[in-house]
Chain A
Amino acid sequence: MQMSELDELYQELIMDHNRRPRNFRPIECPDREANGYNPFCGDTVTLYLKMDGADVADVAFQGSGCAISRASASMMTEAVKGKSGEEARQVFDAFHEMLTHPPDSEFEPDDALGDLEVLSGVSEFPTRIKCATLSWHALRSALDGGGETVKTE
């Protein structure tokens, strides 16, 4: 059975984060909280941030979504925990660039991405990019102060 593009999308690590999402929990009395909603598929995410000065002391999420959105949120929490708000924004930018760079352009993955690179296959599935970026938009909103629900459309 030829499933190469599909396997490219649903990498082993992504499936693992989908089945066992990390930091999939609420945070009591978070410093920041933001909601994300993807009207196209009904995915929702609530992102919680606990700050220690300028640093992300703890980050967690809840919500319902597809494998891509759940894995992306799970991996994001691991990637930004312990980083400064500024570093977390840089990871956001690198991640966003990885998924949305024009298909025929050169893309050099940023070292800051680490494991997140396994999500690069999503860029080949235009209808799924918003699944992967939903929680990230919620993160940026939370870093900005939170409040409004971010929408992907």
Chain B
Amino acid sequence: MSAAHISIDSDAIRRDFPILSRTVYGKPLVYLDNAATSHKPRGVIRALSDYYEGYNSNVHRGVHALSMEATDRFEEARSAVARFINAESPDEIIWTRNATEAINLVAHSWPQGNIEPGGEIVTTEMEHHSNLVPWQKVAADRGARLRFLPIADDGTLDLSGVDSIINERTRLLTIVHSSNSLGTINPVKELAAKARAVGAAVMIDGAQSVPHMPVDVQDLDCDFLTLSGHKMLGPTGIGALYAKRDALETMEPFLRGGEMVLSVTLEGATWNELPMRFEAGTPNIADAIGLGAAVEYLEAIGMDRVRQHEVELTGYALERFAELEEIDVFGPRDLSLRGGVVSFYASDIHPHDLGTFLDRRGIAVRTGHHCTMPVMGRLGVPATARASFYIYNTEDEVDLLVDALKDALRYFGNGPR
């Protein structure tokens, strides 16, 4: 753990990201929208062009050199993702378009035989819509009941009723690891153990945790975990589902077609081995290889250090935000319970106006409901503005944000200019 105490060299890291040298409205880009998507280091961008320029080919079925090279790189990327989250085997990594598709894969293929009428699916009030809407459909289709762990006033989960909410009728606990709109890091390991104790399966939405902290699926003891490539320095259009082999073996295919079959007759088909059984059609080869490069980049830095950097930066941001009396900051104050997300609201300024003001300073934040409309309802606000950090963000950028917010409060407050 000693590495965790050595701060990362943000200046050196910034040089690896070409986009960070651009300007916006003549001002240096201050990119604080990493929970929406992260930027890409040169190595990831090069991995994409290397594939298309050097060995572009379809994977798995070819006997020619290019196809074999592409297959090797493609499977190496799968192994890199497996290693990154400590999966037992690369066969437990299914490529998807994104975390949303990974959740939908489970919602489509797992409930059969596992969720009966009257069974319960437990989730939380702080889920991204992607981990709520698919389960609403599953519950409606199967006569199951959706139950929710509520949000406490401090932005953590209220676990006072957890032992009645997770009970012998629970079939699945599906829970966000790190909230994209509150920043809250949930005690997923403890909750997974509770779910296991009543015989339920466990799915963790890792879209906001895997990019930012060490995540070990064997330690968490989850059946499923989802991740999103573009939020962890990789390309868009690629994500992954981690699923325990035992779970995958019992699941029906998600999509059907080529690649996922072993043999086909006019009357029927038999399914291919894992993981191909769940990857019908030509996969997103280039972007999977790009995600492999992103994983290697993060591994070289070390996820303990990535996490430490964001803890320090978030702590600094919370300190500076305390100067802004007119602005409410949501989420837990305890940095050990918080990812690098600062969601905030100024009662006198609509988040959308704030977003436009900051944009003209070259500062990119997200404004809106962050695909968590129930959370906005719980907070009693129509929307929030959200700054979210990553390895290349600096305290100087936090200062620019806070200074701009002070100006915005003046601008929209007692009269412009």
Instruction: Fill in one digit per residue for B319-361: 1 if any A CB lies within 8 Å of its CB, else 0.
Output: 0000000000000000000000000000001111100110010
Shortest Cβ distance from A128 into B: residue: B356
Min CB distance, A143 to chain B, in Å?
A: 26
Min CB distance, A141 to chain B, in Å?
A: 21
Partner of B369 from the list A42, A64, A66, A128 (CB cut-off 8 Å) is A42
Partner of A66 from the list B25, B352, B376, B416 (CB cut-off 8 Å) is B352
CA distance A65 to B383 in the complex (A): 10
Query: Across the interface, which residues of A come within 8 angstroms of B349, CB to CB?
Result: 67
Count of inter-chain pairs, beta carbons less than 8 A: 56
B412 within 8 A of A: yes
Query: Across the interface, which residues of B come within 8 angstroms of A6, CB to CB?
Result: 356-357, 360, 411
Query: Across the interface, which residues of A come within 8 angstroms of B369, CB to CB?
Result: 42
Complex contact A67–B416 (CB within 8 A): no
Shortest Cβ distance from B415 into A: residue: A15
A131 within 8 A of B: yes
A68 within 8 A of B: yes
The residue in B25, B383, B415 that gathers the most chain A C-beta atoms within 10 A of its C-beta is B383
Complex contact B352–A41 (CB within 8 A): yes
Complex contact B351–A41 (CB within 8 A): yes
B258 within 8 A of A: no
Partner of A41 from the list B367, B373, B407, B415 (CB cut-off 8 Å) is B367
Shortest Cβ distance from A70 into B: residue: B350
Complex contact A40–B368 (CB within 8 A): yes
Complex contact A128–B416 (CB within 8 A): no
Give the total of B residues in contact with A, Cβ under 8 Å: 22
Shortest Cβ distance from B349 into A: residue: A67
Query: Across the interface, which residues of A come within 8 angstroms of B352, CB to CB?
Result: 41, 43, 66, 68, 128, 131
Instruction: Fill in one digit per residue for B376-404: 1 if any A CB lies within 8 Å of its CB, else 0.
Output: 10000011000000000000000000000
Shortest Cβ distance from A6 into B: residue: B360
Instruction: Fill in one digit per residue for B196-233: 1 if any A CB lies within 8 Å of its CB, else 0.
Output: 00000000000000000000000000000000000000
A1-25 residues at the B interface, CB under 8 angstroms: 1, 3, 5-7, 9-10, 12, 15
B5 within 8 A of A: no
B61 within 8 A of A: no
Query: Across the interface, which residues of B come within 8 angstroms of A12, CB to CB?
Result: 416
Complex contact B376–A9 (CB within 8 A): no
Query: Across the interface, which residues of A come within 8 angstroms of B373, CB to CB?
Result: 42
Complex contact B382–A42 (CB within 8 A): yes
Min CB distance, A97 to chain B, in Å?
A: 23
Shortest Cβ distance from B417 into A: residue: A7
Query: Across the interface, which residues of A come within 8 angstroms of B360, CB to CB?
Result: 3, 5-6
Min CB distance, B326 to chain A, in Å?
A: 15
Complex contact B416–A15 (CB within 8 A): yes
CB contact under 8 A between A10 and B411, given known A41-B367, A42-B368: yes
A96-119 residues at the B interface, CB under 8 angstroms: none
Shortest Cβ distance from B25 into A: residue: A5
Query: Across the interface, which residues of B come within 8 angstroms of A10, CB to CB?
Result: 353, 411-412, 416
Query: Across the interface, which residues of A come within 8 angstroms of B417, CB to CB?
Result: 3, 7
Min CB distance, B128 to chain A, in Å?
A: 16
Query: Across the interface, which residues of B come within 8 angstroms of A41, CB to CB?
Result: 350-352, 367-368, 382-383
Query: Across the interface, which residues of A come within 8 angstroms of B357, CB to CB?
Result: 6
Taking Cβ atoms with an 8 Å cutoff, the residues of B that contact A are 25, 349-353, 356-357, 360, 367-369, 373, 376, 382-383, 407, 411-412, 415-417
Taking Cβ atoms with an 8 Å cutoff, the residues of A that contact B are 1, 3, 5-7, 9-10, 12, 15, 40-44, 64-68, 125, 127-128, 131
Besides A15-B415, A65-B350, A66-B353, 5 more A-B contacts (Cβ < 8 Å) are A15-B416, A41-B352, A67-B349, A67-B412, A68-B353
| Smallest CB-CB A-B distances: 6 pairs | A66-B350, A66-B352, A42-B382, A41-B352, A42-B383, A67-B353
